[in-house]
Every structure is written in C-alpha cells, then in structure tokens.
A = this chain, B = another copy of it.
Amino acid sequence: MTAPPELLYLLAGDKKDFAEALASLQPVDVAAALNELEPKAAAKVLCALPFDLIVQLFDEPELDRRVELFEGLDAKSAAPVIEAMAADQQADLFRELLPSERTRLLKTLTPATRDALRGLLEYPPELAGGLMTTEFMAVPADWTVQRALERIREVARNKETVYAVYVTDPVDQRLVHVVSLRELMLADPAAAVRSVGGARVPITIPPDMNREDVARLISKYNLLAVPVVNGDRRVIGIVTVDDVIDAMIREQTKDIQQLGGVEALDVPYTQIGFFAMIRKRAGWLAALFLGEMLTATAMGYFEGEISKAVVLALFVPLIISSGGNSGSQATSLIIRAMALRELTLRDWWRVALRELPSGLALGSILGVIGFVRIVLWQQWGLYDYGAHWVLVAFTVSAALVGVVTFGSLTGSMLPFLLRRLGFDPASASAPFVATLVDVTGLVIYFSVALLILRGTLL
C-alpha cells in the first residue's frame, strides 16, 4: 500500500497551501501517505492539517501508529479530536493507550462521551460489543414519519449511519421495529413510524456475539447495520457493515496464517519486526518439531526391519507425506465448513462416515499409482527393488491405502475435537495434521510390512 509520490512530497514539504490538494483526496489515502513518513515528520504534518481531517484520519483504522501520532498532538487539541471521533474508533484508540494515559485523557472528556466510552471498553474487540458504535439513529414508535425525517436531518452529521432507523417503545425504550431511510422517504409523512415497512421481527444481536457470527448475519440478511441489544431489548449500539468487513479481513488473515502453522501475526508481514516474527513462527515450529521427534522414536523401533530391508526406507517419505497431504485436504475442508456454520459439532459422525470411504478411495488411487511405479521401474531396469519386489510393491500399496484413509479421518476429526475441547478449530493447521499422521503413518507402514514381508525380507 504505497501513497502516490506527489502526495508524499506535498505532505513532507513545508508548503502551507496544500488545502486544495487535500480536499480532493480521500482521508484513507492521506492516512496511507502519513504511514509512509518517518514518525517525526508524520506528527509534524498531522498537526498542520485542518481539524476535520485530523478527526477523519483518527477515524481510519488504516492509519498506523495511531497512539504515537495521537500523543504527538498538543494537549489542547487531543480532547476535541477524541470528542469528534466515532465512538467505536475512540474505543479502539483507548484500548491501545497506556492505562495512565487513558485515565488522564478520560478526565478531559465530557461526561456523555466518557460514559459511552467506558461502556464500549467493557467488551473485547472480537465481540459485537467491542465492534459496535453508539451513534445510531433511534426514534420513538409514536412519532410521525415527518418528525422522524426532521430529526434525521438535525442529527445526521453525528451518526455513524442514518440509513437504518431504530424504532423504540415510547415507554420502556425497547426496540420494536427497524425501518430504513428509504422506507421512511417513501412513506406517508403523517403515518406513525411504527407502521412503516414490513411487520418483520427486527434482527438483533447480543453484545457477546463473536465477530465471525456478526459477519455471517450481516451478510445473510444483507444489512447495512445490525442493532446490539441488551437483556431488556434496549439498543446499546450498532455494528455497521464496514466494521464487519474489516473484522472479516482480520479473521481471514488469522485463519490462513493458522492453517499454515503460524501464530496469527496481528500486524502486516511487511511491518512486523524480525524478532516478533521469529517468536510467532518458532513457537509452533518447535512444538511441531517436538511432536515430529516421535517419528525418530518410531523409526528407531523399526531399525531392525530397516537394516534387514533398506528398500523399505526408500518409501518412507512418500508414504507419510501422502497421509499428511490427505489430512491437510480434509482439515481445510472441515475448518472452512465449520467457519461457515455448514457443520456443527454434532455432525462429526456424518463427516466420519463420509471421510472413511473418501480416504479409502483416495488411498486406493495412490496405491495403484505407487504399485505401477514400482513395477515399471523394476521392469524398465531403472531400479532394482530386490528379489521380492512384487511383495514390496504390495506393501507400499497397502500402506498407502491405510495411511491416506487414516490421514483423511484424522484431518477431518481434529477440528471437531479441538472445538469440543474449547479451542479454535482453525488451529488444526496443515503442519499439525501432517505431524500427527507422520508418526502413525510410520507405524501403519511398518506393520503392513511385517505382515506381508515376514518370512521373505523380514
């Protein structure tokens, strides 16, 4: 993400009259340009910008080093900038501040902002309560359409969205109805807002719903925003579609990194420090290495067989990697289906009943290819697998069927097991499955060999 060079020039230079150039830019592009500058230069440029743009920049999740830049603002402008920011972005910024700084700043805010912010900070950022913003548009159910539209005109400037209007009971403030601005504009101005639009039950979410489920709901019902209600069905905030998209992108990044066997990175690859990255990778890599050490133990257990029939060792990587590959396929299919809620915990046996024949079929395909390979190499004189080469070919084939079937079953069941134990099923990374399957694959292979080759090679 690089900003156009002219923009960098404009920002870095000391020109005072770049107001016009700035006006034609989107705030997110100005943020990208600031991200490219040295910290000191960025802070200097920021202070020279118009107040409204500063607020818009701090409202941009794409602005890097928000805390540092914020701390670089002079004391007089910090509080007004916070006051003018969207509530969800205020909360995000506060989450990053040091506790001491946080307490100090809270004191400078108006009581209303302070209370709203404290409410939002109660929730972690992965839950609806941590994603939501409090600037929504609510009107009592007994208002007329015209009065509601007038109110929207008055307060629109300070609301995150005015395209969804939350209609509440005039007495107890519970949510009774949701109308869109489009429906209000088309309705009879004298009608009561409660009567506008369909009679559908409003879609709401609790503050502890996780961001994946919020994203799925917003996407399923094609919403621009969804109201977060407390136990009394009072609206305490809304989650808007743009926050959900950002959350989806973060979630997707986490899933792909985990599937690759890395702890989720939190910051872009291009920005993470060398040692931070090593830490994120070394943990899983070392854990997998420790697990994989069991292969050395298993191989040691069969050392006698290997020294009798070195030909067996030749196919070890081929056989165990095939198990790992089929396991990796199964795990990625199941992790995704679970994330999309196509599968739940209780479907585990349906999946097992499906993966068993799939594994057998896939293993048989590889078994046939493996058999043909050994026969051809032997016949064409490319390699001599010894006098009992036919038995070796059978051993490899049978082991492939067993290992691939085991791989498919392990790969598909592991995400269920992890979820059952309360872990994220997406931690069942491809390397994790491969490691599990490698150790068992060796045992399967050498057991099959003992069965088929005893009395000949072994």
- Shortest CB distance A237–B (Å): 18
Report A302 CB to chain B, min CB distance, Å.
9
Q: Are B299 and A317 in contact (CB under 8 A)?
A: yes
Asked if A23 meets B269 with Cβ closer than 8 Å, knowing A260-B333, A286-B365, A328-B430, the reply is no
Question: SS class of chain A's interface: helix, strand, loop or mixed?
Answer: helix
Q: Which residues of B contact A221 (CB under 8 A)?
A: 26, 28
The reply to whether A203 and B26 contact each other, CB–CB distance below 8 Å, is yes
**A285, B362: Cβ atoms closer than 8 Å:** yes
Q: How far is the CB of A145 from chain B (nearest CB, A)?
A: 12
Q: Which residue of B lies closest to A354 (CB)?
A: B274
CB of A456 within 8 Å of the partner chain: no
**A281 interface neighbour in B336, B358, B434, Cβ under 8 Å:** B358
Residues of B within 8 A of A269 (CB): 333-334, 336-337, 342-343
B260–A245 contact, CB under 8 A? no
Cβ-based interface call for A348 (8 A): no
Q: Which A residues, 344 to 364, have Cβ-Cβ distances below 8 Å to chain B?
A: 347, 354, 357-358, 361-362
Known contacts A282-B362, A343-B269, A434-B321; A256 and B336 CB within 8 A of each other: yes
Task: Judge if A431 is at the interface, Cβ distance under 8 Å.
Answer: yes
A457 CB within 8 Å of chain B: no
Measured as residues with beta carbon below 8 angstroms from the partner, the interface class of chain A is 35 or more
20 A-B pairs in the complex with CB atoms less than 8 angstroms apart:
A26-B221, A28-B220, A28-B221, A156-B185, A163-B224, A219-B246, A256-B336, A259-B259, A259-B260, A259-B332, A269-B342, A270-B342, A285-B325, A285-B329, A286-B369, A288-B321, A289-B318, A289-B370, A300-B314, A317-B442
| A-to-B contact residues, CB < 8 Å | 1, 23-26, 28, 62, 149, 152-153, 156-157, 162-163, 181-182, 185-186, 198-201, 203, 215, 218-222, 224, 241-242, 244-246, 248-249, 252-253, 255-257, 259-262, 265, 268-270, 274, 277-278, 281-282, 284-286, 288-290, 292-293, 295-296, 299-300, 303, 306-307, 310-311, 313-318, 320-322, 324-326, 328-329, 331-337, 340-343, 347, 354, 357-358, 361-362, 365-366, 369-370, 373, 383, 404, 429-431, 434-435, 438, 442
